[in-house]
Amino acid sequence: MIALSPVHNDDPALALSPLLRSTLLTLDYIETNGPIGLTPLKALKRYFVQWAAEAFVWPHYTAEDLYYLNKVLNEHDFLPLMVLHDVMLGAKLVRHYKGAMHSTRLGKELRANPGKLWAVLTNYLLCVVDHSKYTRHGDQLVGTWDIFLNVINVEAHTGVSEERLCSVLFGGEEEEFRRHDYQLAASFYIHVLRPLCWAGLLEEHRIGKALEQREVYTKTPLWVAALNLETDRHLREPTRH
């Protein structure tokens, strides 16, 4: 578990979490429309996937992005929804029953307490979900959240690239991670950077296009509100001109 400071329900920083926003939309959908149908393989049925693609407006996974690659949408075509389904089920916010996904008592209680709901979702996404199944080779990553968060806390104070973070954490030159050791960089993204972005603690800025595209990460107000880290004492306010 990661020690998260309590975030007030009315804190506007919570709106920065795609994970929380989409969970609330899903719980609201069930409350309004009833349980969500499941396929024989227990995936969410296509009608909900299509609704979610439009309603979630998930960064870098918008309906426009998804339909550009797929004529119709199934759950496995919308990766954030797959992960969200796993997180909500594992955190016992929903359950499968008689071919449909229902809200649990806990899900209904936390729906009215978004600050606590965010903490439950974030800890499950970061500390329980096995992200290796989303990597090409099932890669595991060596390191702890205490190390990752404290390093990112300093490096991302004014914006940092994936390659710079890999260089600081694992050694080696930044250019090597960009050109040659991209498997480790990709694993770090899937295990650490992407979950932090989906939780709303980091924001990913994509600069450039195609092979020239680079990603820069900055901390969000939710990071400041929810995390109290050892390296906070090393931070300085960025210079403004």
Which residue would you say has higher pLDDT here, 123 or 175? 123
30 and 107 in a single domain? The answer is yes
Q: Please give the pLDDT value at position 83.
A: 97
More confident residue, 134 or 73: 73
Residue 202 is assigned to a structural domain of this protein: yes
Q: What are the tokens at 58?
A: 């998930």
Residue 175: inside a domain, yes or no? yes
pLDDT tens by residue, 219-235 = 999 999 999 999 998 88
Do 149 and 103 fall into the same domain? Answer: no
Q: Is residue 140 part of a domain?
A: no
- Write the CA distances from 182 to 77, 135, 162, 186, integer angstroms: 24, 12, 10, 6
**pTM, 2 dp:** 0.91
pLDDT in tens, 55-94: 999 999 999 999 999 999 999 999 999 999 999 999 999 9
Written in H, E and C, the secondary structure of 162-221 is HHHHHHHHHCCCHHHHHHCCHHHHHHHHHHHHHHHHHHCCEEEEEECCHHHCEEEEEECH
Domain co-membership, 57 together with 159: no
Say if residue 31 is in the same domain as residue 121: yes
Task: Calculate the dihedral angle through the C-alpha atoms of 131, 40, 19, 122, rounding to the nearest 10 degrees.
Answer: -50
> Higher pLDDT residue, 90 or 133?
90
pLDDT band at 155 (very low <50, low <70, confident <90, very high): very high
User: What's residue 13's pLDDT?
Assistant: 97
User: In one letter, which amino acid is 193?
Assistant: L
Tell me: the pLDDT tens digits for 169-219? Answer: 988 776 766 655 677 888 899 999 999 999 999 999 988 776 667 889 999
* pLDDT for position 165: 92
Residues of the domain holding 49: 12-129
Confidence category of residue 107, pLDDT binned at 50, 70, 90: very high
Three-state secondary structure call for residue 19: helix
Q: Give the chain's domain count.
A: 2
Phi and psi at residue 196, in whole multiples of 5°?
Answer: -65, -35
- CB distance 224 to 4 below 8 Å: no
